[in-house]
Amino acid sequence: MTKTKTLAGLLAGVTLTASAALAQAYPDRQITMIVPFAAGGPTDTVGRLIAERMSADLGQQIIVENVGGAGGTLGAGQAAGAEADGYTILLHHIGMATSATLYRSLAYNPTEAFDYVGLVTEVPMTIVARKDLEPTDFAGLVSYVKENADTITMANAGIGAASQLCGMLFMQALEAPIVTVPYKGTGPAMTELLGGQIDIMCDQTTNTAEQIKGGAIKAYAVTSPARLDIFPDLPTVAEAGLPNLQVSVWHGLYTPKGTPPEAVARLTQSLQSALADPDLAAKLAELGTAPSPAADATPEALKAKLESEIARWKPVIEAAGVYAD
Ligand code: ASP
């Protein structure tokens, strides 16, 4: 054996040992999960449900840090710039795809700045209003919005948020430019809707289901292709005559680009075990959704989803001509 070969062999051995050691040691301290919207909202709800179960599986606490603002792009930007050591993770939704077009200059490249852990869940949206808004059904809401377009207010979580995308499609379909009010997330927007300071909103069932069930807000339609088991009487947007309003808010888990592959693999494994928890499935069912199947909770599935969703929404956003910058 030559000296060079011996050295190469030694180095390979060192690399293997180091990666095996990392795989065993990771995680050995607390992990931060960035949620790019305010506490109490739908992304936060999904993040905390997952963080709790992944913490138990990993044997280390996952702490949720809410970094709301600018439709999720501030939090995503913070995650993109964090150290790629496996101790910062990002839970984001469809906004990762739409912001790629909505922002002509973004501080990070959505397809380059992250490693992928896996898909988490896909959540339908609901078109809701303060409980004393006059219309009693979706057709009534459409006429009401058209007649009152300059005074009615619609909440969203900023340009890049799912609520903004849904609101944009709603206005486009009705040809009614409504006044929009941005919040750091739809958690605080819901508080204002409950208080009657805001008229309407389009938001995930993970934020609206309990309020609809309790009669605290009014619901007009769901944005899924089929009616939901929890709201069998609520029509789909397609039934209500607006098929182009279908939006499904998929959520994915990411790490900053360059995270050690062993750490990413451990996170994927942990995500899959969290999603297999029957208690999580029951909780999500109450909120109108379900965990992603294990086959989708993979880096490959999330990467494919992000790329296909960027391609899907780009022409829609360009046709609307709505940009953040
Ligand atoms: N539902 C919000 C959205 O519009 C985000 C949130 O507050 O979780 O994207």
Pair 89, 131 in one domain? no
Pair 108, 33 in one domain? yes
Name the residue at shortest CA distance from atom 7 of ligand 1.
Answer: 185
Pair 288, 303 in one domain? yes
Pair 144, 225 in one domain? yes
With respect to residue 15, please indicate whether it lies within any of the assigned structural domains.
Answer: no
- Output b/e per residue, 100-132; b: 16+ Cβ within 10 A: bbbbeebebebeebbbbbbbbbbbbbbbbbbee
Rounded to whole angstroms, the Cα distance separating 239 from 243 reads 8
| pLDDT of amino acid 23 | 58
Q: CA distances (Å), 263 to each of 26, 257, 286, in order? A: 6, 12, 32
Q: How many separate domains does the chain show?
A: 2
With respect to residue 7, please indicate whether it lies within any of the assigned structural domains.
Answer: no
Q: Which of 245, 269, 285 is the last residue of a domain?
A: 245
Pair 163, 135 in one domain? yes
186 Cα–ligand 1 center, Å = 5
147 Cα–ligand 1 center, Å = 27
Pair 241, 261 in one domain? no
**CB-CB contact of 199 with 130 (8 Å):** yes
Q: Which of 245, 275, 300 is the last residue of a domain?
A: 245
Pair 45, 82 in one domain? yes
| pLDDT of amino acid 239 | 95
**CB-CB contact of 212 with 233 (8 Å):** no
Give the mutation target among 74, 91, 163, 205 for probing the ligand 1 site: most ligand atoms within 8 A of CB.
Answer: 163
Q: Ligand 1 pocket, 36 CB below 6 A?
A: no
| pLDDT of amino acid 320 | 86
Give the mutation target among 37, 183, 192 for probing the ligand 1 site: most ligand atoms within 8 A of CB.
Answer: 37
- Which residue range forms the structural domain that includes residue 306? 27-123+248-320
Pair 268, 306 in one domain? yes
| pLDDT of amino acid 322 | 82
Give the mutation target among 203, 206, 313 for probing the ligand 1 site: most ligand atoms within 8 A of CB.
Answer: 203
Q: Ligand 1 pocket, 187 CB below 6 A?
A: yes
Give residue for tokens 């069932």: 205
Rounded to whole angstroms, the Cα distance separating 183 from 71 reads 9
Q: CA distances (Å), 31 to each of 25, 44, 86, 157, 255, in order? A: 14, 16, 8, 26, 11
Rounded to whole angstroms, the Cα distance separating 316 from 311 reads 10
With respect to residue 230, please indicate whether it lies within any of the assigned structural domains.
Answer: yes
CATH number for the domain spanning 109: value is 3.40.190.150
Q: Which of 18, 32, 38 is closest to 203 using CA atoms? A: 38
Q: Ligand 1 pocket, 39 CB below 6 A?
A: no
Give residue for tokens 């709505």: 322
Q: Ligand 1 pocket, 43 CB below 6 A?
A: yes
CATH number for the domain spanning 140: value is 3.40.190.10
Q: Which of 227, 245, 263 is the last residue of a domain?
A: 245
Rounded to whole angstroms, the Cα distance separating 285 from 192 reads 26
Atom of ligand 1 nearest to the CA of 187: 7
Pair 110, 254 in one domain? yes
**H or E stretch at 204:** strand 200-204
The separation between CA 55 and the C-alpha centre of its own chain, rounded to angstroms, equals: 20
42 Cα–ligand 1 center, Å = 6
With respect to residue 9, please indicate whether it lies within any of the assigned structural domains.
Answer: no
Rounded to whole angstroms, the Cα distance separating 152 from 134 reads 12
Burial class (CB in 10 A: 0-12, 13-18, 19+), 310: middle
Which region, left, alpha or beta, applies to residue 71 given φ > 0 means left and ψ of -120 to 50 means alpha?
left
Q: CA distances (Å), 20 to each of 115, 260, 262, 271, 303, in order? A: 20, 11, 8, 21, 26
| pLDDT of amino acid 4 | 42
Q: Tell me the pLDDT of the chain (325 aa) as tens digits.
A: 334 444 444 444 445 455 555 556 999 999 999 999 999 999 999 999 999 999 999 999 999 999 999 999 999 999 999 999 999 999 999 999 999 999 999 999 999 999 999 999 999 999 999 999 999 999 999 999 999 999 999 999 999 999 999 999 999 999 999 999 999 999 999 999 999 999 999 999 999 999 999 999 999 999 999 999 999 999 999 999 999 899 999 999 999 999 999 999 999 999 999 999 999 999 999 999 999 999 999 999 999 999 999 999 999 999 888 888 8
Pair 89, 147 in one domain? no
Pair 226, 256 in one domain? no
Report CA torsion sign: 69, 72, 74, 78. Answer: positive
